[in-house]
Amino acid sequence: MSNTPENPKSRGRFRLFRFTLRTLLLLIAVAAFWTGFQANAVRRQQATVAELSKMGIIVHYAHQHDALPPQQLALRGSVFGTVAFPNQRTTSPNGPTWLRRIVGDDYFQTATAVTLFSDDLDDIKAVLPHLKKLPYLKQILLFVPSCGNALSSYTKAKELLEHELPNVTVTGFGIPIVG
């Protein structure tokens, strides 16, 4: 040991940056838990979107939902959309491009709207369990292709969707105007 007195001021300056190994391990555990939770949420959304896509349903993400008017959004990605809106704006998810290239876009996009191309109640009942798995779903764009009883089938489909998903707005497209 040296006999020189220690300066108490210099010792206290780095006191704030000292932590124990236990604290470091706790911080790493919290970070790992949060990362795992986020990754699990992304995997669930990927699986749900894949199932919905197999059923012919178009899923829209928050960056698309906020940037496009509902009619353009409803037809985005369909044959009708390329004919009706040939110059659609393309949007990209929020987040740095370099990080999206590394981890993928799925970590930076949230499914907030879907387009259903059927007013058949059996089809909608088959889709409902998948729609309930999307926690941030805000809007369902219901495209009604039938002409004869379009209004009554659309009304029934809309009532079913609003009953099963009360926090989701249901908007209809393709309803013939009777004049």
Confidence of residue 115 (pLDDT cuts 50, 70, 90): confident
Position 14 in a domain: yes
* Residue 135 covered by a domain: yes
Has residue 1 been placed in a domain?
Answer: no
3 in any annotated domain: no
- Three-class secondary structure assignment of the chain: CCCCCCCHHHHHHCHHHCCCHHHHHHHHHHHHHHHHHHHHHHHHHHHHHHHHHHCCCEEEEHHHHHHCCHHHHHHCCCHHHHHHCCCCCCCCCCCCHHHHHHHCHHHHCCEEEEEECCCCHHHHHHHHHHHCCCCCCCEEEEECCCCCCHHHHHHHHHHHHHHHCCCCEEEEECCCCCC
Mean pLDDT of 97-102: 87
Range of the domain at 112: 9-173
For residue 178, being part of any structural domain is answered with no
Give the chain's domain count.
Answer: 1
Indicate whether 179 pLDDT > 50: no
| Residue 122 included in any domain | yes
- Tell me whether residue 179 is in a domain: no
Residue 110 clears pLDDT 60, i.e. is over it: yes
Tell me whether residue 107 is in a domain. Answer: yes
Span 5-47, pLDDT tens digits: 555 555 556 666 677 889 999 999 999 999 999 999 999 999 9
